[in-house]
Structure 1
Amino acid sequence: MDLKKIFPLFSYLFHPLFISVYATLFYFFVTRSYFYPHEIYLILFQVIILTVFLPVSTYFLLKSLGLIRSGIMLSEKKERRLPLAFQAMFFLVLIEHSFAMLSIPELYYFFLGALISSVLALLLLLFHFKASLHMIGLVGFTLFIMGISLHYHIRFVNMIAFFIMAVGAVATSRLYMHAHSMKEIIAGIVIGALPQIALWYYWL
């Protein structure tokens, strides 16, 4: 088994760009009976635009301007600052405008936690410390699943177990690929977890 081919797969499958879409799809899978189909499609479309298409477009714009030279994983610390700042701005737009049309407290607080995590990661970059964005996103999503399980009294035991193992697999992948140190992995886990857990108080 060639680990060099398998480990990068985890990094791409659980790339931070996709976590918001995964969380939104999971939420509406659980709560689809409470919403009209057009409401689900509208929110999902906005999430995809603001958390995938616009960040990707911003990445290529910055790359064309020579402000980013590394790949999509943004391995250089200084190259992460602008993309993270834009990501935080896109999260803010999503929170302030997209969720104003529908009452979706669970998603609202998930994305508020993601916004706080993004700002914390950006602040650490100002001190030249690179927290793992993969860990921030995946740990936040895993805790969101746990929160939904508690909130709706649905046992997602297998799913939660899978994503806990996925966290370990992605962490191993990032270490194996020399993308992060153990300190950066742990920092990502803490930054991803604390805002989500703190915000449970408001919607659980």
Structure 2
Amino acid sequence: MKLFSKIVSILFHPMLMPTLGVFVIFQAGTHVSFMPFEAKRIIYITVFLTTCLLPLSLLPLLYQFGVIKSFQMESARERVLPVFFTGFFYYMGYLLLKKLGVSGVIGSFMLASLVAVLSAVVVTLFWKISLHTIGIGGVAGAVMALAFRFGIDLTLLIFLLFLASGITASARLYLGAHQPAQVYAGFLWGFLIVFASVLI
């Protein structure tokens, strides 16, 4: 069970959620799904680079300077600087996408993800909110908003994302990384911010 929980924590790592979110948006059957493959490829590369690779590349440096004691960042205080830098890279990604002329649903999703991350920095100063459930909650919120905004049936996709959210929350609890309130609050935090942004 511990190995399974660790695998789940890696698969649904918060730094992978923006890329997963973009993938899900492309598969949702809206007008965005008909974007040319080359345009999608550029968006994927931009999002993955700025929300995953660049933030991850900083962790060894932060570890070397003693800012974080481990890559798990078990204390709330350890997470503040990494989450701040992650927010900075998210902002870079958002600006790059704007320069490329990407707006609409993708732009709203990226902006909402940025807001969720930066606001999590403030919360992290006082409380160890779950970044994992903020991430997966944001993806679930985006899909729910697409269903309402475009009137399309995404029941199966929403069910799968809520199931993945539950599994991720359970994994984090099993590993002792969070208290129940921290994973519930994280999910609601990510879900509501992204849902409102993509819907409006």
Give CA deviations for 1:78-137 in whole Å, capped at 9, x if unaligned. 21111110111111112223233224311111121111111221101222x110000100
Which residues in structure 2 correspond to 1:108-187 (within 5 Å)?
A: 108-127=107-126, 129-187=127-185
Quick check: 2:59–2:82 contact (8 Å CA) kept in 1?
yes
Determine the C-alpha separation between the residues in 2 that align with 1:70 and 1:103.
36
- Residue identity opposite 1:166 in structure 2: A
1:66 offset after TM fit, Å?
2.1
Determine the C-alpha separation between the residues in 2 that align with 1:170 and 1:90.
24
In structure 1, the gaps of 5 or more residues are none
Aligned to 1:21: 19
Give CA deviations for 1:36-84 in whole Å, capped at 9, x if unaligned. 222111111111110111011011221122222212x321222111111
> Do the aligned partners of residues 103 and 49 (structure 1) sit closer, same or farther apart at CA in structure 2, a change above 3 Å counting?
closer
Give CA deviations for 1:6-60 in whole Å, capped at 9, x if unaligned. 2222211111011011111222334332x22221111111111101110110112
- Residue identity opposite 1:114 in structure 2: S
Quick check: 2:87–2:118 contact (8 Å CA) kept in 1?
yes
Quick check: 1:113–1:196 contact (8 Å CA) kept in 2?
yes
Aligned to 2:91: 92
Determine the C-alpha separation between the residues in 2 that align with 1:147 and 1:88.
23
Does residue 67 of the first structure (1) align with residue 67 of the second (2)? yes
Aligned to 1:40: 40
In structure 2, the gaps of 5 or more residues are none
Root-mean-square deviation (CA), in Å?
A: 1.6
TM-score by length of 1: 0.89
Identity of aligned residues (%): 27
Determine the C-alpha separation between the residues in 1 that align with 2:95 and 2:63.
29
Aligned residue pair count: 197
Per the alignment, in what secondary structure is the counterpart of residue 97 of structure 1? helix
Per the alignment, in what secondary structure is the counterpart of residue 182 of structure 2? helix
